[in-house]
Amino acid sequence: MTSEPAESIRTAGLRVTAQRLAVLGALDGMPHADTEALHRAVRRTLPGITLQSVYVVLGALTEAGLIRRIEPAGSPALYERRIGDNHHHAICSRCGAVQDVDCVVGHAPCLHPSDAAGFAVQTAEVTFWGLCPACQNA
């Protein structure tokens, strides 16, 4: 079996670089991380990498569909490797903690817009806002 991440990068028509491998690697341990956090993490193995390069790498990987970007209100963009399943997120309105939530498409009255006014809807993005377990004690 070949190196999985390298393979997926190449298959996406992109060149395999140390920076891209490092970002993918870092993302494994920290789902829903922002660019700066990823930069700090990647720096441990790739000390010279620039923040701007992390931005570029994340942009390329996102566009290639290898990672997913979410942009919660009031937060910088977050990235994750879990893709292809259109899952949703619960976000703590107090501390910003992010939890994956499995797609609720089955029993979801609000996910079928009765009147989308002619929109050709491709995806339904759901964000649950509330308090995480830790923040409920306060």
Nearer Cβ to its own copies, position 28 or 102?
102
Q: Does 105 bind Zn ion (CB under 5 A)?
A: no
Of the chain, the end-to-end C-alpha distance in Å amounts to 50
Q: How far apart are CA 92 and CA 121, in angstroms?
A: 27
Among 16, 51, 70, 81, binds its own copies (CB under 8 A): 70
Query: Which tokens belong to 122?
Result: 């491709």
The total of other beta-carbon atoms located within 10 Å of residue 44's CB is 9
Q: Exactly one of 21, 38, 78, 80 binds Mn ion (CB under 5 A); which one?
A: 80
Our finding on whether 93 is near its own copies (CB under 8 A) is: yes
Cβ(49)–Cβ(87) below 8 Å: no
Q: Which residues bind DNA (CB under 7 A)?
A: 10, 14-20, 34-36, 46, 48-53, 55-57, 59-60, 71, 76-77
